[in-house]
């Protein structure tokens, strides 16, 4: 038996039949792949933002605890300005996206505090600023509405309406005995 010889025409026809297969396969896999990559990146940004918000809340709360805020006549707007100045790369949009609440509490185990986020929107009228006096227990709460672009994350973490995630940070402390 002699070996079978393929004709050059049959080889070209076989290659032509497979041209474009890689492009079609890539198109089928690329959209979910890039969607997943962007979701992972966006989730990473949300985690970094949450960490920055927590640090900024603690650092700004320290101004209240030490009496610096009282000495400088802080109000809700000034407290938010100080908070936003500590938000590093997220400082630009902080004033529009952050809501602050600073209040004196009777004890550390507080229940029944009103949530300013109701009916899918933040109500700043349910927040206050009261840094208290020396020795008072103070609760500092901050909410930050961060927009999301990735559809997968929108469905998974959205509490602040379509396309937004609501991040929050809080700290509670007893004011130091500063000279009032």
Q: Is residue 180 part of a domain?
A: no
In the chain, count H helices and then E strands: 6, 5
Question: Tell me: the pLDDT tens digits for 8-35?
Answer: 555 555 555 677 888 888 888 998 898 8
Q: Is residue 2 part of a domain?
A: no
Residue 60 pLDDT exceeds 80: yes
Number of other CB atoms surrounding residue 178 within 10 Å: 14
The three-state secondary structure class of 8 is: helix
Distance linking the first and last C-alpha atoms of the chain: 108
Which letter does DSSP use for residue 93 in this model? H
Residue 141, φ and ψ in degrees, nearest 5: -125, 140
Residue 1 pLDDT exceeds 60: no
In this prediction the pTM is 0.80
Radius of gyration for the chain, computed over Cα atoms and rounded to the nearest angstrom: 28
Q: Give the integer Cα–Cα distance in Å for 18 and 86.
A: 57
CB-CB contact of 97 with 144 (8 Å): yes
Considering only 42-56, 70-84, 112-126, which range has the smallest mean pLDDT? 112-126
Domain that residue 117 falls in: 9-174
Q: Is residue 100 part of a domain?
A: yes
The three-state secondary structure class of 56 is: helix
H or E element: which one contains 154?
A: helix 151-157
Question: Tell me: the pLDDT tens digits for 98-138?
Answer: 999 999 999 888 777 888 887 778 888 899 999 999 999 99
- State percent of the chain over pLDDT 90: 49
Question: Does residue 168 come out as left (phi exceeding 0), alpha (psi in the -120 to 50 range) or beta?
Answer: beta
Q: How many domains does the chain divide into?
A: 1
Confidence band, pLDDT 50/70/90 cuts, at residue 95: very high
Q: Is residue 4 part of a domain?
A: no
171: CB partners within 8 A, 6+ apart = 57, 58, 61, 139, 140
């Amino acid at each position: 038996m002699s070996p079978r010889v393929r004709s050059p025409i049959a080889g070209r026809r076989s290659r032509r039949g497979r041209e474009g297969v890689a492009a079609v396969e890539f198109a089928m896999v690329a959209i979910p792949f890039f969607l997943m990559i962007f979701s992972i990146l966006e989730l990473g940004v949300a985690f970094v933002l949450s960490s920055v918000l927590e640090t900024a809340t603690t650092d700004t709360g320290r101004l209240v605890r030490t009496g610096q805020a009282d000495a400088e006549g802080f109000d809700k707007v000034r407290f938010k300005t100080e908070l936003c100045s500590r938000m590093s790369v997220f400082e630009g949009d902080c004033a529009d996206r952050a809501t602050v609440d600073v209040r004196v509490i009777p004890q550390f185990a507080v229940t029944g505090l009103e949530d300013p986020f109701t009916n899918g929107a933040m109500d700043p009228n349910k927040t206050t600023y009261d840094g208290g006096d020396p020795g008072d227990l103070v609760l500092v709460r901050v909410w930050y509405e961060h927009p999301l672009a990735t559809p997968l994350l929108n469905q998974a973490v959205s509490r602040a309406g379509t396309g937004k995630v609501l991040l929050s940070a809080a700290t509670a402390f007893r004011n130091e005995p500063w000279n009032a």
